[in-house]
Amino acid sequence: MEYLYQIYKEFFPIGVAVGLEHLEKYWDLLKHFNSITPENELKFCEVHPEESTYHFEKSDKLVQYAKENNKLVRGHTLVWHTQNPDWLFEGKMVSRDMLLKRMEDHISVTVDRYKDSIYCWDVVNEIFPDGEGKLRDTRWKEIIGEDYVEKAFCYAHETNPKAKLFLNEYNCEEDIKLDLIIDYICQLKKKKIPIDGVGVQGHYSIVYPDLEKVRKMFYRLAKLDLQIQITELDISMFAFEDHSCDKKAPSREMIDAQARYYSKLFSIFREYKDVITGVTFWGAADDFTWLDDFPVIGRKNWPLLFDEKLQPKKAFYAIADFRESQIRKMEELYKEE
Ligand code: 9MR
């Protein structure tokens, strides 16, 4: 049997976010992926809980696993407005210079530790709120100023000039946000800030966004002349506004709709293979997903390629069998002629 990443080898690496605690359970499933993202192990509060203490035990183990199993590792994430330790912004007297120094220390120690093993980093994560057309108000921005983003890229690049550096964002297909991302990146490039790529998170649902909107987004992002990666893909069974909690299992209609959505989405990814350098799922199987607690706490969701028993779903075959379905389509065309 071919693994998913082998089927996609002429397109892009296929990745998965995984936590250290799930490595054993997913051991066989992980063979389908040739890239991993530590789901939480590299976040600021995990790695650097106190000013003079770093904890790399968990991320080291994941990176070691990746090395032994020939997988790439994406680093997630260096600068974010959440999951930060209290000490970072603590005290009324934290000045711009102090916070810049803290950021620089964090980035240089973390990026340097993995300079031979982590090939790309989400340097900044979710810096734009929805619908506002401006940089998010965060403690980073308040204390340092808007150039905190530029500084983060420069520190990462100085530490490891080989690493590919990404700006990672959600809801990128939304018009206001897409305009902003594009303008913002053009400015970074004008200022010669070392940015290599845009991370499109890809937290979608079976009804949203419209796939033409996604195609249009890639069309516009591709013109930036940067890499694009889909960094956190999952397809919720529920529309965002749907807070119903009555389902114990996904209906047949949901399973089919999800397979169709994944299939069409991947055909767009394949169209843009020249600029897409990775597609990563935010989880391996439906037994464990952050969407079980978002936007409704404790509501089960089934957004991934493998089911709760770790078996491949229709969605899996929908993206794995694209060559067969292309052949079928060709055959139908010939029949019609
Ligand atoms: O999946 C992650 C979950 O386990 C964590 O509790 C949460 C907070 O750190 O982060 C989740 O991952 C997020 C990612 O880091 C950034 N984009 C949104 C993801 C889902 O919330």
**Whole-angstrom Cα distance, residue 4 to residue 281?**
12
Which residue has the least CA distance to atom 1 on ligand 1? 290
**Beta strands in 55-151, from DSSP E residues, in sequence order:** 72-79, 120-125
Ligand 1 centroid–CA 328 distance in Å is 39
Closest listed residue to residue 79, CA positions, set 121, 131, 134? 121
pLDDT at residue 114, rounded to an integer: 98
Determine the residue of 21, 36, 39 to mutate for testing ligand 1's pocket, defined as the one with the most ligand atoms within 8 A of the Cβ atom. 39
**Which residues, including other chains, have CB under 8 Å from residue 205's CB and lie 6 or more apart?**
235, 236, 237, 238, 239, 240
Determine the residue of 290, 294, 304 to mutate for testing ligand 1's pocket, defined as the one with the most ligand atoms within 8 A of the Cβ atom. 290
pLDDT at residue 334, rounded to an integer: 74
Helix (H) or strand (E) holding 144: helix 139-144
Is 232 noted as a catalytic residue in this protein?
yes
**Whole-angstrom Cα distance, residue 131 to residue 20?**
35
Q: Is the pTM of this model over 0.85?
A: yes
Question: Which tens digit of pLDDT belongs to each residue from 11-65?
Answer: 999 999 999 999 999 999 999 999 999 999 999 999 999 999 999 999 999 999 9
Question: Which tens digit of pLDDT belongs to each residue from 229-246?
Answer: 999 999 999 999 999 999
Ligand 1 centroid–CA 325 distance in Å is 34
CA distances to 23, 32, 199, 307, 325 from 77, in Å: 20, 24, 11, 28, 37
290 lines ligand 1 (CB under 6 A): yes
pLDDT at residue 336, rounded to an integer: 67
Backbone angle region of 313, left / alpha / beta, with phi > 0 → left and psi within -120 to 50 → alpha: beta
pLDDT at residue 330, rounded to an integer: 67
**Which residues, including other chains, have CB under 8 Å from residue 273's CB and lie 6 or more apart?**
10, 11, 12
Closest listed residue to residue 166, CA positions, set 149, 148, 142, 183? 149
Phi and psi angles of residue 12, each rounded to the nearest 5 degrees, phi first: -165, 160
Question: What number is the average pLDDT over the span 146-157?
Answer: 98
pLDDT at residue 212, rounded to an integer: 96
201 lines ligand 1 (CB under 6 A): yes
Which residues are paired to 38 by β-bridges?
Answer: 18
pLDDT at residue 79, rounded to an integer: 98
| Residue 32 amino acid letter | H
Which residue has the least CA distance to atom 21 on ligand 1? 290
Indicate which residue of 41, 126, 150, 173 is catalytic.
Answer: 126
